[in-house]
Amino acid sequence: MEYTQLGRTGLKVGRLVLGTMNFGPQTDEATSHAIMDTALDAGLNFFDTANVYGQTAGKGRTEEIIGSWFAKDPSHRDKVVLATKMYGNMAEDAPAWPNHDKLSALNIRRAVEGSLKRLGTDRIDVYQFHHVDRSTPFEEIWQAVDVLIQQGKILYAGSSNFPGYKIAQANETAARRGMVGLVSEQCHYNLFERRAEMEVIPAAQEYGLGVIPWSPLGGGLLGGVIRKEVQGGRRAGGRTAERLADPKERARIQAYEDLLDKHGVDPGETALAWLLTRPGVTGPIIGPRTPEQLTGALRALDLELGEELLAGLDEIFPGPGPAPEAFAW
């Protein structure tokens, strides 16, 4: 496993991030434990979760599954860089009361305590804000974070789904307080969705944040979806099916799969490997439902994409271009 440094921290993390969103709703506890065992054995040491993950199995269930894995072998905790997120309402069956969601100092404190209990740990290595809270000033957010760092309950703070200007705002506010600020950003980034290249990734690079793309396979669109459909495999549903129903989108996906057939490479592995070639990217988040899916994702680490293939991918999925040049008429 190749390791890199997470932003401006001293944390060394693998080039893939184990996302745990499926633990609970789609993957039972025993299989989730097996996936984490396989990941750690392969050297994948950066685990990402969120307090709201679990959903149909119950909010917080995913964190509980990770906590039970730590409890089985406490030595695992010090081998893992553990990241979780907060923002959403954690009430199970009722609307949120005021201050039971978003980024108020009160909810940050409440959310940290809940996550620590479910995860069965005394600290969170990277504590992430799941979304922007336009109603809470960063001065208040950083005051709450500073207290938690002083208490040893979190080590670093990160963001998720932040636009470039909010990354700048957050870190300029932190700098005035003499704090490190955000050390990572989770953004929606894949071959289909490249808008992060305009502002988010340049802002992250400017402020020294690690970039952790989510949905690297575009909701399954980049994982060989047409090939699987033809072979009689699992059919796409939801938004993926809607995209496939659009003739223009389907033509792009078909061109993508044809290009990869020409080069003899797997679609899902290629989509991950492409992200690993992108400037500023620490590692994409993978969300395996089975140990076999994890093993397939790990193969992307050894896949080298030639210039001809990269040029072909850019032709099918052109990026927005750098700012400010891309804004010119």
**Average pLDDT taken over every residue of the chain:** 95
- Beta-carbon contacts of 260 under 8 Å, excluding residues fewer than 6 positions away, are 266, 267, 270
Q: What domains are defined for the chain?
A: 3-220+267-312 (3.20.20.100)
Residue 233 pLDDT > 70? no
pLDDT for position 236: 64
> What is the arithmetic mean of pLDDT over 40-62?
95
Catalytic residue at 3? no
Q: Residue 245's pLDDT band (boundaries 50, 70, 90)?
A: confident
Full DSSP string of 151-165? HTSEEEEEEES--HH
Of 3, 53, 156, 165, catalytic: 53
pTM: 0.96
Full DSSP string of 230-272? HTT-PPP-HHHHHHHHSHHHHHHHHHHHHHHHHHT--HHHHHH
* Strand runs labelled E in 161-222: 182-188, 210-214
> What is the arithmetic mean of pLDDT over 263-284?
98
Residue 52 pLDDT > 70? yes
Check: CB of residue 160 under 8 Å from CB of residue 170. no
Query: How far, in Å, CA of 250 to CA of 244, rounded?
Result: 5
- For the chain, the C-alpha Rg in angstroms (whole number) is 20
Least confident of 45-49, 216-220, 229-233, 267-271: 229-233
Check: CB of residue 225 under 8 Å from CB of residue 236. yes
pLDDT for position 177: 98
Between 6 and 329, the more confident residue is 6
Point out which residues pair with 47 in neighbouring strands.
18, 82
Least confident of 15-19, 52-56, 214-218: 52-56
> What is the arithmetic mean of pLDDT over 308-321?
97
> What is the arithmetic mean of pLDDT over 293-322?
96
pLDDT for position 305: 98
> What is the arithmetic mean of pLDDT over 34-53?
97
Render pLDDT for 70-123 as a digit per residue (tens, 0 to 9): 999 999 999 999 999 999 999 876 677 888 899 999 999 999 999 999 999 999
pLDDT for position 55: 84
Query: How far, in Å, CA of 313 to CA of 83, rounded?
Result: 31
Point out which residues pair with 128 in neighbouring strands.
85, 158
Phi, psi dihedrals of residue 4, rounded to the nearest 5°: -135, 175
Name which of 14, 18, 117, 123 is nearest 68 in CA terms. Answer: 117
Point out which residues pair with 12 in neighbouring strands.
5
Q: Residue 14's pLDDT band (boundaries 50, 70, 90)?
A: very high
> What is the arithmetic mean of pLDDT over 132-157?
98
Vertex 149 angle, CA 45 and 97, to 5°: 95
Query: How far, in Å, CA of 64 to CA of 175, rounded?
Result: 35
